[in-house]
Amino acid sequence: MAHPSQEAPRKFTFDTEFGGGRQPPPTSTYKRLFTADEAEAMAALARAEGDAAAMQRIEAQTARALADLAEAARAALPTLAAAAHRHRAGAAELALACARQIADAACERFPEAPLQAALAALAREVEATPRLTLRAPAALLERLQAALTETAEAIGYPGQILARAEPTLAPAAFVLDWGDGSAAFDPTGAAIRVAEALEGALAAEGLHAEALPSPIKPSDEA
């Protein structure tokens, strides 16, 4: 016979709370349902966030690609500058060679032209000189003297003109002396001076003409 204080046995229901018959508090977890407009707004926000993230990645990749291109361009600049300098030097040498051929042909055909140009340029300086002395190659002496006399008359020079042969002078070369000064022309020497001046200009341009930027280190771009 069961004792009155003992409870009747009951089936075990795998409960997790044992409080003498007290009910567990209701759970706060609930399932929320979204309206169609709310779902569409959330989808639009998610798409916008995804697009922004994709654009950031694209911009970062573009920036890296541009930096690589800039570095490649900076690395190529010295080679391009050297090639441009070689091209300028070759073009200048070709132009000088052509000029020599033209000058030689002009001096051969018109040997009196440099002498006449010199006297015309010296008109004010020799106008009070009583005598001009011309020294020139023997083969051209008479021709140069006649041309000098013609130019002297054109500029109004009234003094005497003397001509003397100088066997050491090259064709078309001459020396014009008026006592207080002299002027000389030597085609060979002039060609040498022009070549030296051109060579010096090209050398200076090769050192200073191409302003190349210094390479930028990755730490400098940060």
* Tokens describing residue 159: 């003094």
Write out the chain's pLDDT in tens, 222 residues.
555 555 666 666 666 555 555 555 555 555 567 788 888 888 888 888 888 888 888 988 898 998 888 888 888 888 888 888 788 888 888 888 888 888 888 888 888 999 999 999 999 999 888 999 999 999 999 999 999 999 999 999 988 999 999 988 888 899 999 988 999 998 888 888 888 888 888 888 765 554 444 444 444 444
Q: What is the DSSP secondary-structure string of 108-166?
A: HH-TTHHHHHHHHHTHHHHTT-SEEEEEE-GGGHHHHHHHHHHHHHHHT--SEEEEEE-
pTM: 0.51
Per-residue buried b or exposed e for 18-56, using 16+ beta carbons within 10 Å of the residue's own CB: eeeeeeeeeeeeeeeeeeeeeeeeeeeeeeeeeeeeeee
Q: Find the helix or strand (DSSP H, E) in which 182 lies.
A: strand 182-185
Residue 51: predicted pLDDT: 86
* Amino acid identity at 145: Q
* Amino acid identity at 136: A
Q: Which fold has domain 111-186?
A: Dihydrodipicolinate Reductase; domain 2 (3.30.360)
Cα–Cα distance for residue pair 150/173, rounded to 1 Å: 18
- Domain limits of the chain? 36-103, 111-186
Residue 221: predicted pLDDT: 45
* Amino acid identity at 37: D
